[in-house]
Structure 1
């Protein structure tokens, strides 16, 4: 199983949806809460090529983007292969 890291904030409906999809797939993930660890926000923006919205999701070394991108990968049957790589 690939390592999944998700940068999130509290009260973010997109973060909740993304976490729910991973939970449904029984995928463990590391959640980095940038509202509780503001010093990690710059790290997220750098790793996400300038994107500052949450969630920002990384599977292994691949930045897949946010919630909408993850759901699009899932709909195209491309998410599971990334997760199991």
Structure 2
């Protein structure tokens, strides 16, 4: 399983999302796209048009951003998604 996080370095939502993943002890690939509009456009295409940051993907499943990640955690649905990540 591959977990990828597209983010900007100084984005508070990106930092918060990565902090949750770090607390969970899960490995993830960071895609820093600071100011790279071509990379952001490619990310948005993969994310079904969502261009806000961060964008988090588990394999080919786009789970959204920071709010969606924390909602999955609160509902108890994040850990099953992360199994094997």
TM-score over 0.5 for the alignment?
Answer: yes
CA shift digits 1:23-73 (9 cap, x unpaired): 001111111111165431111010111111100000122110000000000
The residue aligned with 1:42 is 41
CA shift digits 1:7-38 (9 cap, x unpaired): 10021000000000000011111111111654
Structure 1 CA distance for aligned equivalents of residues 77 and 64 of structure 2 = 14
The residue aligned with 2:17 is 18
| TM-score of the two chains, using structure 1 as the length reference | 0.91
Alignment CA distance shift 1:12-1:3 (3 Å): same
| TM-score of the two chains, using structure 2 as the length reference | 0.91
The residue aligned with 2:52 is 53
Structure 2 CA distance for aligned equivalents of residues 35 and 72 of structure 1 = 26
Matches within 5 A, 1:62-81: 62-81=61-80
The alignment yields a C-alpha RMSD, in angstroms, of 1.3
Structure 1 CA distance for aligned equivalents of residues 29 and 37 of structure 2 = 16
Q: Which runs of at least 4 in structure 1 moved beyond 2 Å after TM superposition?
A: 36-39
Unaligned runs of 5+ in 1: none
